[in-house]
Amino acid sequence: MADLGALVRNPRTIEALGRADVLCFDKTGTLTEGTLQLAAVGDGDQELPADRLDTPRKAVLAAALRATPPARQAEPMAHQTDRAVMAGARRAGVAVRQGAPRWRRTDALPFEPSRAYHATAGRTSHGLLLSVKGAPENVLRRCVGRRHRGAPAPLDPDAVEALTARAEELAAAGRRVLAVAERPMADDEELTDEAVRDLVFLGFVALADPVRTSAAPATRRLHEAGVHTVMLTGDHPATADAIAARVSDVPEPKVCTGPELDELDDAALDALLPTVDVIARCSPHHKVRIVQAYQRLGRVVAMTGDGANDAPAIRLADVGIALGRRGTPAATAAADLVVGDDRLETIVSALMEGRAMWASVRAALAILIGGNLGEVTFSVLTASLTGGTPLSARQIMLVNLLTDLAPALAIAVREPTGHTGERLLREGPHRSLGTALTNEMLLRGVITALGAGLAWFGARLTGRRRRASTVALAALVGTQLAQTLATGGLDRHVLIAGLGSAAVLAGIVQTPGVSHFFGCTPLGPVAWGITLGSIALATLAGSALTPLLRGLAD
C-alpha cells in the first residue's frame, strides 16, 4: 500500500476497504487536477477571458483581490480559490488599490464552508470599504444594488434572477464561480456576519480546474466493482454536474444539494441517497448525515475529506480517507487511510488491495477445507471398497502437516496478484466467500480424492497394501501441493512452501526408519511413476474444470 502512496493506519482498514460498496469523494484534486486558475471575469452581463480583461473587469478582479487574505511569504495561502484569484490578478497586472486609492486591510471574516464567502474591511482615502467574494447565491442574497456599465443600478428580483442564471451558465462549463460585491462602511462599523449586507454587486470571477483524464476510467472501474460513487462538493450544483458528466459513465448523473438534504427527514434521506451521484453545496455536517444514512441502509461507506470539519464524517465512515496533500492534521488524525496524492486512482488501487485480501482468504480457506474434504472422501470411499482404512492416524497427521501449515499460510500472506485484473473487481466478502468459495472447496476436494484414489488403485493393483498406502499418502499430499502451486502462481513464498513440503514428504518416505515410523515404505521408480502420474492427471482435470466453475460463480 505504501508503494501506491497510501498509508494504512490500522490493518482492519484493508478488510473494510474490500467490503466498501459506497465511496463518497471530493471533487477538487480527487477528480480534477487541483490547480484552480483564473479563467474569466465578468460584470454580470458578459465575461472576458483572464488574459484579455478590460478596465471595468479589472476593477471587479481588484475587488475580489481585496476580499482575499494577504499572501504571507512563509506559508502558502490556505485556500486554493484565494491562490487562484491572487495569481490571476498578478498575471493581469491588477493590484488591490485599483479603484480604492491607498487601500489598507483593517479586518477580515475568513472563508468558511458554512459562510461560503470571504469578507475584508479596508481603509481607503475615501473611508472604510467592505469587499466580499463568495458563492453567488450567498453574496447576491446580501446585495441591494449593482454596478451596471460603471453606474449604480437597483437590484430588483428580475435582475437577481438574470444574474443567478448567468452564474449558472458559467458553472455549467465546470467552473467555480465567485460573486464579487462591495459597499462603503461607516467608520465605527464592525465587520461581522450581520454587517455583510446592503452590498453592491460588481461582477463574477470564474475559476477553472481541469478534470484529470484518468478520473473517468477510475470511476468506471469502481462501478464495475459494484461500488456506488458519490461526489461531494461545496461547489455549485451546475459546476458539479458538469464535472460529473465528464467523469461518470452514468448518462445523466443525479445531482442534489446540501440544502435539499436539510429538508428531508431520515426516512426520506435513506430513500434518496441510493439514487444520487452528486451532492453539491455539501458542507461537513451534511457528510456526517450522509455516512449515517448509508450505514442505516447496511452499506459499507468509504469517505474522503480534507478539512478539519470533515474529521467527524471521516471518523464515522467504515473507511475514513484523508487526502494527504490538502488534508488538515485533524482530518489525517481521524482517517484510517491517508492517500498521499489525493487521487481517485490511488483510492481505487487501495480498494483493490482490500478485494485481493478477500481473494486470499478464499484461496486459503479452499486449501484448508477443500483439502480436508478430499482426504475424508478418499478415506471413506476406499474404506467402503476394501473394508479397511488406507491411511493410519500418523499418516493423516503427516498429510495435514505438509498441506495445511506452510502452503496455506504462504497463500494467505502472498502479494496480491492482478491489481489491474478485472477479476479482483468482482471480489469481496459476498462474492469471494459465497458460491465461489463453495465451488473452489468442492473442486479441491474432488481433485484431491481423485489423485489419491487413482494412485492407491494403481499401486494396489501392482503391489502390497503398505506400498499402496504410501503411494496414496504421497499422491494425497502431492495433488494438494500441485493445486496450491497453481493458485499461488510464481509467488516466491508459495513456491518455497510448496516445493519444501514436497521435499520433506520425499525425504520421510525414502528414509527407512522414518518411513516405517509413519507406516510407509520407501518407494521404487514404478511407485513414484504411479504417484506422479496420478497427481498430473488429477491436476489437469482440475485446470480443465476451474474456468467452468468460475463461469458458474460469476
Annotated active-site positions, please?
26
Residue 81 or 219 with smaller CB distance to ligand ATP: 81
Distance of closest approach, residue 342 Cβ to ligand ATP, in angstroms? 10
Cβ 284 to ligand ATP, closest distance in Å? 9
Least distance between ligand ATP and beta carbon 322 (Å): 13
Q: With respect to ligand ATP, which residue has the nearer C-beta, 169 or 270?
A: 169
| Ranges within 155-194 binding ligand ATP (CB under 6 A) | 176, 178
Q: Considering only residues 367-426, where is the footprint of ligand ATP by CB under 6 A? A: none
Shortest spacing between CB 439 and ligand ATP, in angstroms: 43
Which amino acid, 499?
Answer: L
The grid coordinates of residue 186 equal 461607516
Site stretch for ligand ATP (CB under 6 A), options 93-101, 230-238, 352-360, 377-385 = 230-238
DSSP string, 514-544: HHHHTT-----HHHHHHHHHHHHHHHHHHHH
CA distance 121 to 139: 16
CB 234 within 8 A of CB 114: no
CA 270 → CA 21, 229, 258, 300, distances in Å? 16, 16, 14, 14
Binders of ligand ATP in range 482-541 (CB under 6 A): none
Could you tell me the end-to-end alpha-carbon distance of the chain, in angstroms, rounded to an integer?
28
422 vs 33: CA distance, rounded Å: 26
Using rule CB under 6 A, residue 81 touches ligand ATP: yes
Contact (Cβ atoms closer than 8 angstroms) between residue 475 and residue 502: no
Q: One symbol per residue from 235 to 274: x for binding ligand ATP (CB under 6 A), - otherwise; what is it?
A: xx--------------------------------------
Compare residues 76 and 524 and give the one whose CB is closer to ligand ATP.
76
User: Would residue 464 be called left, alpha or beta, if left means φ above 0 and alpha means ψ between -120 and 50 degrees?
Assistant: beta
In the complex, least distance from residue 186 CB atom to ligand ATP, rounded to whole angstroms:
24
Positions 319 through 348 that interact with ligand ATP (CB under 6 A)? none
Q: What is the dihedral of CA 228, 229, 232, 233, to 10 degrees?
A: -150
Residue 274 DSSP SS3: helix
Beta bridge partners of 132: 119, 181
- Using CB atoms, what's the residue nearest to ligand ATP? 234
Kindly tell me which residue out of 21, 47, 82, 440 binds ligand ATP, with binding defined by CB under 6 A. Answer: 82
What does DSSP say about strands 176-185 and 199-208: parallel, antiparallel, or unpaired? antiparallel
State how far the Cα of 237 lies from the Cα of 276, in Å rounded to an integer.
13
Show contacts with ligand ATP in window 21-60 (CB under 6 A).
26-28
> CA–CA separation, 8 vs 24, rounded Å?
18
User: Rounded CA gap, 144 and 164, in Å?
Assistant: 14
User: Among 229, 233, 328, 360, which residue interacts with ligand ATP (rule: CB under 6 A)?
Assistant: 233
User: Mask: binding to ligand ATP, 114-143, rule CB under 6 A, as x and -?
Assistant: --xxx--------------xxx--------
Task: Pick between residue 207 and residue 505 the one whose CB is nearest to ligand ATP.
Answer: 207
| 204 vs 518, beta carbon nearer ligand ATP | 204
Binding residues for ligand ATP, rule: CB under 6 A, are 26-28, 79, 81-82, 111, 113, 116-118, 133-135, 176, 178, 233-236
